[in-house]
Amino acid sequence: MQVEVLNIQGKGTGRSVELPDDIFAIEPNDHVIYLAVKQYLAAQRQGTNKVKTRAEVKGSSKNYINKKVQVVAVKVISVILYTKVVVLSSVLNPAITALN
């Protein structure tokens, strides 16, 4: 494939260059060109943005206590309440004490 050589102003210089057909005579794939330009422009960005870590994000103050501590506290409270209910009911109704 013969191609004319142009100068900076875009005018012909009178010379020509032979280019190989297997490289320059193909039909361009527009999507591949788009992806290559997009990748090039993305690589040119400065890339100094910072993402906050988990410790830097200000979250809600709803859960101060560890979940395991909360579960243990709920179990202890339920046992205490159950014992109070059993004691109170046995005082009020002596028949329940006879069954236990």
Per the CB < 8 A criterion, the answer to whether 17 and 23 are in contact is no
Q: pTM of this prediction?
A: 0.34
Per the CB < 8 A criterion, the answer to whether 15 and 7 are in contact is no
Is the pLDDT assigned to residue 15 strictly greater than 70? yes
> Hey, where are the domains in the chain?
2-43, 67-99
pLDDT digits (tens, 9 = 90+) for 48-59: 778 888 777 776
pLDDT digits (tens, 9 = 90+) for 70-97: 666 667 777 766 666 656 555 555 555 5
What number of CA atoms fall less than 13 Å from residue 31's CA on the CB side?
Answer: 0
Tokens standing for residue 64: 């101060």
* DSSP letter, residue 58: -
Q: Tell me if residue 42 falls in helix, strand or coil.
A: helix
Q: What is the pLDDT of residue 91?
A: 56
Q: For the chain, what is the largest distance between any 2 Cα atoms, rounded to a whole number of angstroms? A: 120
pLDDT grade for 38, boundaries at 50, 70 and 90 = very high
Q: How far apart are CA 77 and CA 63, in angstroms?
A: 19
